[in-house]
Every structure is written in structure tokens, then in C-alpha cells.
Amino acid sequence: MTIIKKIKNFLAHTRKPKFFFIKEGKYKITEAFMVNGISYYMFDNLFEMPSGRGFTALTYYDELTMRCSREYLLKHCRAIDILLSDPKKIDYTNIAIIHRNLRDRTELLPIPDHIYKLASVLFFDKTESPFAYNYEYNQKKIEQWKSTEGLLDFFFKTELKNLVPSLGRPETDTLIYSQVLENIDKMHRKDISQVLSKHP
């Protein structure tokens, strides 16, 4: 067998491994919950998950704790650069608005999108590789989760709470909380987009 075939065989096994291969090994997997007829699994010890999922979890954990993604921060920095680009025409009003938005985000409860993204790493179905994270597949999974009533509430009570002790649970109805934060996020993004659209 050539080295290329060996590599292909190895990759084929790591893409979609059978759960029973790892139940007794280093990584132990258990069923976490079932929703819409689909079982979702998780590692017994979230702090020992494979690096393929672990690095993605760290990225999403950062987004959750900062209340914004890297993409949002990059757009924020670009907008500020634009607003400061001409010393004779510094736009203090928009600088103040964008700065206030970023400051306000640090005081919000976690944005629902960030909770779903982190949950999508921690919980996987039988068609997913426990070792790797497929962004395209998980975006579809997140959209399905968002349309499932009560699931966001459920995530506040699961392993996410143990992983993120600062994860505060909304005092009001979770649906209202979700809608309010999504609207705030849209407003913040609109303020940045208006600056960026004038300076492509």
C-alpha cells in the first residue's frame, strides 16, 4: 500500500469515525440530548476534546465572552480608521456611537448566536466527526436549533453553564431576551456598515 493510500485511508476514518471505536479509548462519548428526533452527543470531559473541535470551541468561547466576533471587531477597527483618516474632518459623532456600541456589548448577556455556535461544537450528531468541526454543516444545524422552541433555554442549563460560569440566564422570557439582543446586534452592525458603505 502506497503512502498516499495510507493517508487517504487515515483521513477517511478520521472524517466519520464510528463512535464505538472511541467509547472505550481516550475520548469517551455519551448521548447528551435528543431534539426533533436527532440524538446529539458530547465528550464526557469537555476539557479533553480533540484539538479539531477544541480550537473551534476556543474561538467561539472568545466570541461569547467578548460579545462580538473577530469579524465584528475588524469592521469596527476599519470604521474607526475611516472616521479618523482626515484630521480636518474627524467625525466625532460616529466615533462616539461606534465606541459606545462596543462598550455596551461588554455589558450585555451573551448574544444567542454565540451560544448556539459554542453549543454546535460541544454537541454533535452521529453524522459528524467527533474530531473535526464542519462549519457549513453546523451553520445548518444552528438554523434548525434556532427554530426549535425552548432549545436556547435548554442550553443555558446544560454543560455550557459549567464551561462558562459567567453565562448569566435571562430573567425574562428567553424568546424576548433573544429578540432584544438580536435587534441590538443588528443596530450595532448597521452603525458600522453605514460608515463602511461610504468608504468602500
User: CA 145, 150, 152, 158 torsion: positive or negative?
Assistant: negative
CB 101 within 8 A of CB 14: no
Q: What is the pLDDT of residues 41-59, one digit of tens each?
A: 999 888 888 888 999 999 9
110 or 113, which is more confident: 113
Where would I find the beta strands (DSSP E) of the chain?
29-35, 38-43
pLDDT for 199 equals 78
pLDDT for 198 equals 83
pLDDT for 16 equals 45
62 or 9, which is more confident: 62
Q: What is the pLDDT of residues 11-45, one digit of tens each?
A: 444 444 445 445 556 778 888 889 999 999 999 88
pLDDT for 14 equals 45
pLDDT for 19 equals 55
Report whether pLDDT(128) > 90. yes
Q: What is the pLDDT of residues 64-88, one digit of tens each?
A: 889 999 999 999 999 999 999 988 9
Q: What is the pLDDT of residues 130-141, one digit of tens each?
A: 999 999 999 999
pLDDT for 17 equals 43
CA distance 95 to 130: 44
Report whether pLDDT(153) > 90. no
- Average pLDDT of the chain, as a whole number: 83
pLDDT for 118 equals 93
Q: What percent of the chain has pLDDT over 90?
A: 50
Q: How far is CA 16 from CA 28, 35, 46, 78, 192, in A?
A: 16, 21, 20, 40, 41
104 or 157, which is more confident: 104
